[in-house]
Structure 1
Amino acid sequence: MILALTFSVVLGTMIGALLYGRRQARAQTMAEWAVGGRSFGMLIFWFLNAGEIYTTFAVLGISGYAWAHGAPAYLAFTSVSLSATVGYWLMPRIWEAGKKYDLVTQADFFAAHYRATWLGCVVGIAGIAALIVYVQIQITALSLIIQLSLGSDVSQLTAAVLAAAIMLAFVYFAGLRSAAFAAGVKDVLMVIIVIALSVTVASKVGAASILDVFALAEEKHPGFGQFPGMQPEAGLSSTWLMTAALNVALGNWILPHMFQLCFAAGSRKTIRRNAIWQPLYSLSYFFIILLGLGALLAGTQPEGGDSNAVLLQFVSDRYPAWAIGLFAGTACLLALVPGSVLLLTASSIFTRNVVRPFYSGISERRMLLVARLSMVAFAGIAVWLTLGATKSLVEIGLSAYAAIGMLAPGVYLGFTWKRAHALGVFIGIVAGYCALLLPAAQLVWNTYFPQWDHGLLAMAFNGAVTVLACVLIPATAFRGVSSSTSS
């Protein structure tokens, strides 16, 4: 029954997504395939954008983080609300630039705004690298679900390859419109399931009520609700929470797929309404954290102590087969929808900003073929990264945010400072990655800024170097279109 229900949910959604995408408009151009013809209304845009609340990072990752650490899982509340605040200001500007200059990818923005095709190529490669890491999150989670559904005899490699293949099928032909349909199905099902599980979790762990779950968790695991949580050696203090939340908020809309989704909106009003209501939607994290605490009280122990599999194991141990199958099928969609959008974005960037500059006469049809083939290649790389990975989904996600944060100064300065130019932005990016990755830089941060999020520190260093470079180096040759896109 578990396998049948899981398969039914996934296959039914896939068929509906493909039919919807093909019926709305056959993807014959990059703009239609990658940004849905720039016509998404409030409802579709909501499920694609604010629907990022319900991903494997959120549901499986945050519940597992609550199980392993306790209070540090509250990062989810703060980061989403801050991201919406930033998005209210930033997203309409991204949308306006995309509409005015016919942009499809984030790298298009850098190339057009700074009038430097080479910068678009550099940014594109950096964005692809971060996206592949983020795809790894989805494949890791989907592999766990496949193994739950098919049995532990299925190897990690087989599960990861199956996960990538299903993910590719979602958007290979119809593009972003297919993902939009699946995102709606995924969110509706997940809201229903999370509420149903939350209503029944108290009875599964011997608590009198939902609030009693928190009281019991504090009683049995003293300090779980305070920072630094149940693992003080991890350094997840309140300082970490504030700096990590700020880094996520500043970097969220810089993630290439989120940047590209802004281009898909039909109007500025659509984007701003989304940002206004998104913090309310994030209150659902209360129930996700509740389920993680339920697993903690139930003594759930996933194989190998894998925190990513905690919620899956808890549901598998405590609920009937039909509930397990429905949850597993919906959890598959949590990985498939964002994962497919990530792969689509990476392939769009590769085609438009890495391949096209070297083959200026390439046709739309050939570009679509290259995009689809590169999407397969990127999925293969993500599968390779997944094998043997041991980090939690939250840790992998924060690594992706730190990496993509190196592009943030170029975006924010592009909309606020006319003196910013391509060479200064490039120098800042190089400096930022050095500050993020070099062991010597890590030693400095740990010594002088203990427990600060390193991604935020590297982003700040990047921004300072970018500003200094733009002040010291003449901007005449690098003047872009800032006066047109910063209104």
Structure 2
Amino acid sequence: MNAAATPVFVLFFVGVTILGFFAARWRRGDLAHLDEWGLGGRRFGTIVTWFLLGGDLYTAYTFVAVPALVFAAGATGFFAIPYTILIYPFAFAVFPKLWAVAKRHGYVTAADFVAARHGSRLLALAVAVTGIVATLPYIALQLVGIEVVIGALGFNTTGFAGDLPLIIAFAILAAYTYTSGLRAPAMIAVVKDVLIYVTIAAAVIVIPAQLGGFGHIFGNVPHDKLLLKAPDTASLNGYSAYASLAVGSALALFLYPHSVTAMLSSSSGGSIRRNMALLPAYSLVLGVLALLGYMALAAGVKDMPQYAPYFKVYGANFAVPALFLHFFPSWFVGVAFAAIAIGALVPAAIMSIAAANLYTRNIHRAFVNRNMTHDQETHVAKLVSLLVKVGAVAFIIGLPLTYAIELQLLGGIWIIQTLPALVLGLYTRLDYRGLLSGWATGIAVGTWMAASLNLKSSIYTVHLGGYGIPGYAALWSLAVNVIVAIVVSVLVRVAGMAAAEDRTRPEDYLDTIEN
């Protein structure tokens, strides 16, 4: 055990636990209502929303996996930078409209809007199930960040004794989420983001100085990891793969239930727009995080005998912890590792709440008990949020880590299939039968592409006239989804089949409500 870093780590963990329980008293509301428990009463202003979205989108797995991808694969890992820049103008234009409709009608989930807009409980069910299934491995992957730093602190992470810290961490998370709802991760996100900024600022100053500057760092990175593979006469190679990963990931990120939940908790559409202007500050942090992968390569941490056993267990995911262990005093290592661990708790809490909201509103209420009271609705959501966390812990303990990564790969492909029903639904109205057909086709095509790659990659090569165009499978399958949805919608209307009722009104989409 690292005797200096561990107490610092534990101190921060205890601190955020206290904050999590205290959050129930922050901005008091009736937590027996799902609107209050699951959306914070829709009262979060620009600053709180900024911290909440930052804590929601930039997860512990991001802090571990992005540098790990750069460390292992090189320049391809930097696709995360343009991707996190592209999402903000997209969200700036789209999601204030969703917030406006949801506010006027009391919608808690994206599937609530889909059911009303397209007049189909079945389509809403498809959106809800897709969101829940895509979220579960995402929650499990947050445990990877905690597991890596616990191992880096010197604890054995194998067997029941090794799993015990993870179980304790998520039991505490479950307790204060059950009590405080979305208010808990919103309050803890402030601490998490401050710790992350302090940690990254220290890293970008201290590590390059000790490695001889950025010139020395880039000079020691293998050439094949500095550049993408250029197009040739047979294929676009790394260029199209990189671009499609950035575009596809940008389209998918705000479709995840936790992203939608964080935005619907805002006090106004204006608050969302201001956040889309401010959140690129996190993209700057992400760029520095990605550079940590190159710093780890230049420092040669993988070849250091004291870290070899850790790399054998955790692979490239140990690159960032190794850097901090090597270049910083133990007390600051405790701060950095606490930032990563807390960075897992915030998104995991929001994800479990978002999944619970979807189940409660769009499965239980829609198909099991349509006459639920507010108290019953919130009670079901709280129980489901607990079950989701238990499932995530069981998933990561009982199955190899590669399963979680592979399912998360599929999760990105699946969640993007909800874009026509949700995003296009804010601007136009395709027939629900067309949208269901497109969704099913997109799911099938995307899954087939990923399966053909043995779930080891999400880059599928499409051949046009003998020329290969590698691209993100989610983007290819989305294109098929949209084409099918449009064609079937046209055929339905030509056949004179009755259209479903649209329970929204044109004026609902004007986000003029300001709180």
Q: Which residue pairs with 2:233 in the alignment?
A: none
Q: Which residue pairs with 2:19 in the alignment?
A: 16
Structure 2 CA distance for aligned equivalents of residues 426 and 343 of structure 1: 26
Q: Which residue pairs with 1:90 in the alignment?
A: 94
Q: Which residue pairs with 1:187 in the alignment?
A: 193
Counterpart contact for 1:110–1:120, Cα < 8 Å: yes
- Per-residue deviation at 1:362? 1.9
Counterpart contact for 2:56–2:346, Cα < 8 Å: no
- Per-residue deviation at 1:166? 3.5
| 1:58-457 mapped onto 2 (5 Å cutoff) | 58-149=62-153, 151-152=155-156, 155=159, 157-204=163-210, 207-217=211-221, 221-228=222-229, 237-301=238-302, 302-304=311-313, 306-357=315-366, 358-387=368-397, 388-391=399-402, 398-418=409-429, 420-438=430-448, 442=452, 446-448=461-463, 450-457=469-476
Local SS of the residue matching 1:446: strand
Structure 2 CA distance for aligned equivalents of residues 336 and 119 of structure 1: 31
Describe the superposition over 1:112-147 as per-residue Cα deviations: whole angstroms up to 9, x where unpaired: 211222322222111100011211221222222233
- Per-residue deviation at 1:306? 1.6
- Per-residue deviation at 1:485? 4.7
Deviates more, 1:288-297 or 1:462-471: 288-297
Structure 1 stretches lacking a partner, 5+ long? 230-234
Structure 2 CA distance for aligned equivalents of residues 317 and 429 of structure 1: 48
Count of residues paired in the alignment: 476
Mark the CA change 1:398 to 1:48 in structure 2 (over 3 Å): closer, same or farther: farther
Describe the superposition over 1:205-224 as per-residue Cα deviations: whole angstroms up to 9, x where unpaired: xx32244322332xxx1222
Counterpart contact for 2:220–2:297, Cα < 8 Å: no
Describe the superposition over 1:132-183 as per-residue Cα deviations: whole angstroms up to 9, x where unpaired: 1211221222222233336125535434433432332342211111111111
Structure 1 CA distance for aligned equivalents of residues 229 and 61 of structure 2: 21
Counterpart contact for 1:41–1:266, Cα < 8 Å: yes
| 1:33-72 mapped onto 2 (5 Å cutoff) | 33-52=37-56, 54-72=58-76
Mark the CA change 1:100 to 1:476 in structure 2 (over 3 Å): closer, same or farther: farther
Mark the CA change 1:432 to 1:325 in structure 2 (over 3 Å): closer, same or farther: same
Q: Which residue pairs with 1:476 in the alignment?
A: 498
- Per-residue deviation at 1:184? 1.0
- Per-residue deviation at 1:71? 0.6
Mark the CA change 1:451 to 1:163 in structure 2 (over 3 Å): closer, same or farther: farther
Structure 1 CA distance for aligned equivalents of residues 292 and 416 of structure 2: 31
Deviates more, 1:358-367 or 1:36-45: 358-367
Counterpart contact for 2:61–2:144, Cα < 8 Å: no
- Per-residue deviation at 1:314? 2.5
Local SS of the residue matching 1:223: helix
Per the normalisation by structure 2, the TM-score is: 0.86
- Per-residue deviation at 1:236? 7.5
Mark the CA change 1:228 to 1:297 in structure 2 (over 3 Å): closer, same or farther: same
Structure 2 stretches lacking a partner, 5+ long? 231-235, 303-310, 454-458, 511-515
- Per-residue deviation at 1:450? 4.0
- Per-residue deviation at 1:440? 9.9
Q: CA RMSD, aligned part only?
A: 2.5
Counterpart contact for 1:202–1:209, Cα < 8 Å: yes
Per the normalisation by structure 1, the TM-score is: 0.91
- Per-residue deviation at 1:60? 0.9
- Per-residue deviation at 1:18? 2.2
Mark the CA change 1:223 to 1:170 in structure 2 (over 3 Å): closer, same or farther: farther
Counterpart contact for 2:410–2:450, Cα < 8 Å: no
Counterpart contact for 1:434–1:441, Cα < 8 Å: no
Structure 2 CA distance for aligned equivalents of residues 300 and 105 of structure 1: 45
Structure 1 CA distance for aligned equivalents of residues 252 and 287 of structure 2: 23
Percent of residue pairs bearing the same amino acid type: 24
Local SS of the residue matching 2:26: helix
- Per-residue deviation at 1:477? 3.0
Structure 2 CA distance for aligned equivalents of residues 395 and 280 of structure 1: 30
Look up the equivalent residue of 1:36 and give its one-letter code: G
